[in-house]
A and B are shown apart, each in its own frame.
Chain A
Amino acid sequence: MTERPGDCTLGEALIYQIARTIEDGILAFHGFGSPLVQLALHLAKRTHAPNLVLVAGATYGVNPAPPFLTPTSNDWAMNRGAECHLSIDELFDLAAAGRLGRMFLSGLQIDRRGNLNVTRLGRERMSLKLPGGGGGGNLSCDARRITLWTAAHRAPPDQSGRRRFRLVERCDFITSLGHGVPGGAQRGRLGHIGQGPDWLITELGVFDFDENGQARLAALYPDVGLDELRASTGFELVARDDLASIPLPTAEMAACIRALDPLRIHERELRPEDRARRFELEA
């Protein structure tokens, strides 16, 4: 997709929503297979979070300056310019000791309490084997805070009229822990270091979590209506009273993303129809 001056793409708006959840001065890790998150970390570091300790997924390079984003994460291009390197055990030790400020997780199923499934569909009988969660199961417990995200919230009906929700009432398997399971152990009782997810960012809206650990719609994209979003959500939607429109990036931020990802790798995470969505840039 070619960019036009004066507007940004859905991908760029999504990257900005994720970047806004990243605090300055923390250590954050982007894992692998998530170009939207990779770019969000680089954008945050180049804008509001210059003291971010950016640990690249797969290479474990610290504060790299990749010449371009590659379609796979464990590539020397992603490692270029890194100040130093961690080993796999070192990164996970940092998390276990409470030093990982924020982690980013996605799944094929995400429930209202922020639990994720990337392991399997089907409870009794496996209907689909998913790739697995990497270190997400550990980091969902150990990282101080979690940003959840998906670029596939929209759930259009299939040929038989059935909607396959990404945001579900209940996950078939819990690969990564959110705020606990109905009828099961709640996060607060498990004594994990991490506080659980505080944001859920999708291509339709941005959710925060209330004091009971339930996802709550906080902002909508300018081209999405509440009814449309409700129809794509597998659990009962609760919206904040002060429901807002998502903040949009500035021209400088969009330019930063375009420079980092000349191959537009991040658009592979978006559905084709979403790649055409455009929003006016913030002045």
Chain B
Amino acid sequence: MNVPLHTQPDKLTDLPGLAAHVSAGDCVAVGGGLSWREPMAVLRELVRRRVGGLRLIGSAHGIDVDLLCGAGLVAASGESYVGFEQDFGMAPNYRRACESGAVAVEDNCCYTLVQQLRAAIAGLPFMPMRSMRGTGFMDLHPEFKTLRCPYTGEELVLVPALRPDVAILHAQYGDAHGNLRIEGPPVADVLFAKASRRVIATVEQILPTDRLAEMGVSIPYFYVTALAEVPHGAHPTACYPFYAYDRRHTAEYYRLAAQGAEAFREGYLQTYVHDCPTEADYLRAIGGPASLERLASWQESPESWRALYD
């Protein structure tokens, strides 16, 4: 099993340094969920570097998985949901990639994933659970087995341990040692960090270790392989209290993705990823300080917060 501890005193690097920890073909857990705290800057860097053949696992995702599919980096998806909810609807690049067979469909369910990660965290080969029998997931995943419980005689499902090669996270705060503090819903990030062989993270701000300890650590440093300070690293998803979801940019993303694979590559990937070799270039491309101030305006009043969704 041999899962490494990451103990080096200084783990600070930059985006290329983080991306170097992801290899083609890796099983990847992307942190955050839906329109919240997705590690988008790292994903953009993976697109620039064309790290492909990724096998994704996760719970409820959106633009993160769709972007990787649109860039052709995904070999298989074990997510439980990929879409833009009622805001924009189904994920265009993800759909195309699954329907063409480019991405192997390995859909999972949230609790099944939780139990599989827990098995990895506990160093066990599997975890039992009761649900899923009677659904299509049992056929979709022949690796799920059933067992007669030796204590109660009831039939249970056994789901195998799932140990991602790398978890990619974005948090509000971190320190040079690699401690991470997540504010607001952690989604599955803590489970991902504990179950994965490597964890790479971007943070809005690097703080001194004593300051971070006062605030409270969500993920201890020894799970974390490397981290980088990348402000707005979750854009266009939200990273409160710094910024809200950029609905305007997401609408543009969606419009281009819905037009087809080529329109997406030329209209979106070229403009916002390949023509932006650094995240500073990306922030200029999305509208610079005016856009960033608009997204931070949620704090001013419920009315200005609401206006971001018009």
Q: Which residues of A contact B (CB under 8 A)?
A: 32-35, 58-61, 67-68, 70-77, 79, 85, 87-89, 92, 95-96, 119-120, 126-142, 173-177, 180-181, 184-185, 187, 190-193, 262-263, 265, 268-269
Question: With the chains together, A233 CA to B84 CA distance in Å?
Answer: 28
Whether B130 and A192, one on each chain, are in contact in the complex, defined by CB atoms closer than 8 angstroms, is: yes
Partner of B109, one of A67, A137, A192: A137
When distances are taken between beta carbons in the complex, the residues of chain A under 8 Å from B129 are 96, 138
Q: Which residues of chain B (22-71) have a CB below 8 Å from chain A?
A: 33-36, 59-60, 62
User: Taking A71-B85, A77-B305, A263-B310 as contacts, is the C-beta distance between A175 and B135 under 8 angstroms?
Assistant: yes
When distances are taken between beta carbons in the complex, the residues of chain B under 8 Å from A140 are 131, 135
Q: Which residues of chain B (252-281) have a CB below 8 Å from chain A?
A: none
Whether A129 and B133, one on each chain, are in contact in the complex, defined by CB atoms closer than 8 angstroms, is: no
When distances are taken between beta carbons in the complex, the residues of chain A under 8 Å from B134 are 141, 174, 177, 180-181, 184-185, 187, 190, 192
Question: With the chains together, A72 CA to B245 CA distance in Å?
Answer: 9
Min CB distance A182 to B, Å, is 13
Whether A74 and B131, one on each chain, are in contact in the complex, defined by CB atoms closer than 8 angstroms, is: no
In chain B, what residue has the closest Cβ to A89?
Answer: B114
In chain B, what residue has the closest Cβ to A176?
Answer: B135
When distances are taken between beta carbons in the complex, the residues of chain A under 8 Å from B155 are 190-191
B79 within 8 A of A: yes
Whether A58 and B36, one on each chain, are in contact in the complex, defined by CB atoms closer than 8 angstroms, is: yes
Whether A185 and B133, one on each chain, are in contact in the complex, defined by CB atoms closer than 8 angstroms, is: yes
Whether B306 and A141, one on each chain, are in contact in the complex, defined by CB atoms closer than 8 angstroms, is: no
Min CB distance B306 to A, Å, is 5
A-B contact pairs, 8 of them (CB 8 A): A58-B33, A67-B302, A72-B84, A74-B33, A74-B185, A76-B240, A126-B105, A132-B80
Question: With the chains together, A77 CA to B134 CA distance in Å?
Answer: 37
Whether B132 and A74, one on each chain, are in contact in the complex, defined by CB atoms closer than 8 angstroms, is: no
When distances are taken between beta carbons in the complex, the residues of chain B under 8 Å from A187 are 134
Number of A-B contacts (CB under 8 A): 188
When distances are taken between beta carbons in the complex, the residues of chain B under 8 Å from A128 are 95, 99
When distances are taken between beta carbons in the complex, the residues of chain A under 8 Å from B136 are 119, 173-175
Segment among B86-94, B224-232, B288-296 that sits at the interface with chain A:
B86-94
Q: Which residues of B contact A (CB under 8 A)?
A: 33-36, 59-60, 62, 79-87, 90-91, 94-95, 98-99, 105, 107, 109-112, 114, 118, 129-137, 154-155, 184-188, 190-191, 238, 240-241, 244-245, 247, 302, 305-306, 309-310
User: Taking A89-B118, A128-B99, A263-B309 as contacts, is the C-beta distance between A59 and B185 under 8 angstroms?
Assistant: yes
Min CB distance B109 to A, Å, is 4
In chain A, what residue has the closest Cβ to B60?
Answer: A134
In chain B, what residue has the closest Cβ to A67?
Answer: B302
Whether B131 and A192, one on each chain, are in contact in the complex, defined by CB atoms closer than 8 angstroms, is: yes
Whether B98 and A141, one on each chain, are in contact in the complex, defined by CB atoms closer than 8 angstroms, is: no
In chain B, what residue has the closest Cβ to A140?
Answer: B135
Min CB distance A217 to B, Å, is 25
User: Taking A75-B245, A263-B306 as contacts, is the C-beta distance between A95 and B111 under 8 angstroms?
Assistant: yes
Min CB distance A36 to B, Å, is 9
Whether A75 and B110, one on each chain, are in contact in the complex, defined by CB atoms closer than 8 angstroms, is: no
Partner of B86, one of A68, A71, A130, A193: A71
Min CB distance B175 to A, Å, is 23
Whether A141 and B310, one on each chain, are in contact in the complex, defined by CB atoms closer than 8 angstroms, is: no
When distances are taken between beta carbons in the complex, the residues of chain A under 8 Å from B82 are 131-132
Whether A137 and B60, one on each chain, are in contact in the complex, defined by CB atoms closer than 8 angstroms, is: no
Whether A134 and B85, one on each chain, are in contact in the complex, defined by CB atoms closer than 8 angstroms, is: no
Partner of A96, one of B87, B131, B241: B131
When distances are taken between beta carbons in the complex, the residues of chain B under 8 Å from A32 are 34, 60, 81, 85
Min CB distance A41 to B, Å, is 16
Question: With the chains together, A128 CA to B105 CA distance in Å?
Answer: 12
Whether A96 and B60, one on each chain, are in contact in the complex, defined by CB atoms closer than 8 angstroms, is: no
Q: Which 3 A-B pairs have the closest CB atoms?
A: A135-B110, A131-B83, A141-B131
Whether B80 and A133, one on each chain, are in contact in the complex, defined by CB atoms closer than 8 angstroms, is: yes
Whether A88 and B59, one on each chain, are in contact in the complex, defined by CB atoms closer than 8 angstroms, is: yes
Question: With the chains together, A280 CA to B82 CA distance in Å?
Answer: 39
Given contacts A68-B305, A74-B36, 6 further A-B contacts (CB under 8 A): A33-B83, A34-B86, A74-B60, A88-B186, A126-B98, A139-B111
Whether A68 and B135, one on each chain, are in contact in the complex, defined by CB atoms closer than 8 angstroms, is: no
When distances are taken between beta carbons in the complex, the residues of chain B under 8 Å from A185 are 133-134
Whether A58 and B185, one on each chain, are in contact in the complex, defined by CB atoms closer than 8 angstroms, is: yes
Whether B184 and A129, one on each chain, are in contact in the complex, defined by CB atoms closer than 8 angstroms, is: no
Question: With the chains together, A92 CA to B113 CA distance in Å?
Answer: 11
Whether B79 and A137, one on each chain, are in contact in the complex, defined by CB atoms closer than 8 angstroms, is: no
Q: Which of A33, A263, A268 has the most CB of B within 10 A?
A: A33
When distances are taken between beta carbons in the complex, the residues of chain B under 8 Å from A180 are 134
